[in-house]
């Protein structure tokens, strides 16, 4: 069992695991909307971080390549900023990649 999966199974002082808390929160429409909103930001953050790690770039290097400020790259990598489609297209173009958009069935927990 990995350290992160161990932590997820531990009971907090509030009497429930992170997984139990998350499943309980998924019953709330507002929580599901917020989670869906930031899912795009999280996917973008992961993709940018993976790209930087693969190419051994700093945030400064990536910001130069993308034609944006370091602070914007930092915000995108934190996953707390939902980029618009124009920004995503600009990033994809600068990286020489195609932007792929897809729709998936909701997970059972999110329904």
Closest CA to 87 of 66, 106, 101: 66
Show me where the domains of the chain are located: 17-98
Place of tokens 């930087």: 52
The 3-state secondary structure of 13-73, one letter per residue: CCCCEHHHHHHHHCCCHHHHHHHHHHHHHHHHHHHHHHHHHHHCCCHHHHHHHHCCCHHHH
- Considering the segment(s) 17-98 as one domain, its CATH architecture is Orthogonal Bundle (1.10)
For 47-105, the pLDDT digits (tens) are 999 999 999 999 999 999 999 999 999 999 999 888 999 999 999 999 999 999 888 88
* Inter-residue contact 38 to 79 (CB < 8 Å): yes
Average pLDDT of the chain is 85
């Amino acid at each position: 069992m990995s350290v992160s999966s161990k932590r997820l199974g531990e009971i907090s002082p509030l009497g429930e695991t992170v997984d139990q808390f998350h499943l309980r929160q998924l019953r709330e429409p507002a929580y599901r909307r917020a989670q869906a909103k930031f899912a795009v930001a999280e996917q973008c953050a992961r993709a940018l971080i993976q790209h930087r790690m693969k190419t051994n770039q700093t945030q400064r290097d990536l910001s130069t390549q993308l034609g944006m400020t370091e602070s914007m790259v930092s915000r995108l990598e934190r996953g707390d900023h939902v980029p618009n489609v124009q920004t995503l297209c600009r990033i994809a173009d600068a990286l020489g990649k195609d932007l792929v958009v897809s729709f998936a069935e909701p997970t059972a927990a999110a329904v």
